[in-house]
Structure 1
Amino acid sequence: MTRNALNLEIPDGLGDLLRDFTVAVLRERPSDLYDFAVDYFTKVRENRRPKSVPMYVIVGEEEAGEPDRECFKPKSQRMNRYGRRQSVSAERYDPEQDESDDERIVHPKSDEQRERLTEAVSGILLFRSLEPEQMQDVLDAMFETSVSPGEYVIRQGDDGDNFYVIDHGIYDVFVDVNGEQKRVHRFDNKGSFGELALLYNMPRSASVVAVTEGSLWAMDRNSFRRIVLKSAFKKRKMYEELLENVTILKSLEQYERMNLADALASKTYEDGECIIKQDDDADGMFFLEQGQILVTIIKPNGEEEKIGLHSKGKYFGELALINNAPRSANVYAVGKVKVAFLERESFERLLGPCLEIMKRNSELYKQYAENVK
């Protein structure tokens, strides 16, 4: 602590915190300072938390409505609103420290079952960041189970064994409040539940009861952790390492690179496949993960001229986004190529601090384009 002329104690770190915030304001020039401040300090707080802990929700708002989220917080973080504090000895799951065997479990399914399962998991938030091969692991690892009206799928206080995705049926979620069962949510033929007990290695925080006849797809604890948690952690870590080697991103703060890593999606192209076609509308930009790309330009006389060959660490496709114009070149895969794709909306939201550098680089492309005409 330090003291000022008024003999008031100034907390350690306050000066640095306000300085960094002021720099961010001057750099971003937000239209609403209050909204910017909320967003900025929220990101700073998230950045101070351990990077190895992924965050998940029980159900997406677009899947089955908005549950009472207070009831779904880990018990060690939740105060009972009726005066009683519940506690539980729980150790959260850390993917970085998990050295268990990655043995795949496969439950055979008919074509009809696999089709229903594919449809059921298509809207689940937890699975959206998985690679195609990891999604196949998800389909293989899940097994079908039927339930009857009044049957408990999970009971509050029990150990967590499975994660569930709803195939069909209606299910109520109850939380015990001072000995009374309070209904806090209803799943109606879609949604997922049960991941918190697996994630935090804690007892079930709520009960789920079938209201109608129904069918669920279940995944055991080990498969859930191996496929969903470890894969998400490895993907973020891989993308952070990739982005750290991209020169224009050096101006980003660590939390900004983390947000950017989470927004990337992998895409794979075969040898000779066109990744970007000249004059097409732009839907996003790319970061080259593996392989090589060939960049060409179609000249006014119709001749296609080679511009260059690029390897891992190269980014491309940003010019059309910066200039709000069609694609200015062709990009082809040389051999098998893997890229990390950033869609237009995320580009505009996350790469603001890098736009000036990108614009300067775009001038070089414009000068070259003028010379080849």
Structure 2
Amino acid sequence: MSDSFHARLAQLQALGRSPEALATAEALAAELARQGQPLRAITVCRVLQQFEPAHLSTPRLLADLYAKPDAAAPGAPALPRVPLFSLLPREPFMALLGVLEPRSYQPGQSLIVEGEPGRSSFVLVEGRVDVVRKLDGGETRTLSSLGEGEFFGEIALVSESPRLASVVATQPVVALELHRTKVERVSFRHSVVGETVQAFYRERLLANVLRSHPVFASLAPEQREALAPIFERRTVEAGRVIIAQGQKGDGLYLLLQGQCTPVLRRHDGQETAFSPLREGDVFGEISLLLGQPASATVRADTPCQVLRMGREPFEQYLASQPKVRAALMRVGTERLLQHSKVLASGRAVHEGDQRV
């Protein structure tokens, strides 16, 4: 991390409400914003607003530079876009900026703890963190390392389900935290914020699955980008069967929101439930791969939002790829082995998975 920025931020916070501190913070935020460092500028802006809540000139400057350009305005400035925020028009941009909370962490401190209810998401301003998940045997695995500009924990913007992994600082970290309840309050006044957050979450989760899941990881980035629009969004009522054991699968599913449970029905009529599927889990690939009836039933425990890729595009865009075909065979074999052992707990953990 840049020690000069971290030290300067700490100095500003120590100076408090003095006129010198306010003037220095305003000048620093403007300088960073015009240099194309929006996250640092936003962090300084929020420190400034903590001391002077009525301060508006810096948020207005940031919105002018980084909010979604007005369709009637001339060409947008040649500055980097800020994920999520630059999708918003000027006023909603300023409203969402106003609920961000600057946070600092030292190496070894946890920003997110696996198993705790998810209530907020983060974006890294500086430093690095590891995404760490516990395995069935109790040991832990580092799935990925995230750096400046990375978002994580966005599942918490749409669901209070337990965290799927821990996030631990490996360097001194400055982050911006965004609480779901505050986003909901902003969305009540600016509906475009809620719509944009939902779309942002959906795209991030799908991109994570396409990047980390063994079925898709062998694809080139441009191939994964071409796949994303093929998934269609569906709403599933609680209690509805999405995939029925014994019937031919109609598609591959990605669970966006809610919870489903796979159930295996034995020949003697007894049923065994697998561990529940939650946000970001993929199912339905075995039937597509093998061209055989589904090996288990998947039923929605709660109202769910899913992304679905139908059989035809699945075969057209995936099965024709040799590397993808091999990955499908590997994943399908693993799933069938799980079914044969009738596992009632445990989840697939893939390298590069950033779901928290």
TM-score range for the pair, normalised by the shorter chain length? 0.3 to 0.5
Q: Which has the larger radius of gyration?
A: 1
What is the TM-score when the length of structure 1 is the normalising length? 0.37
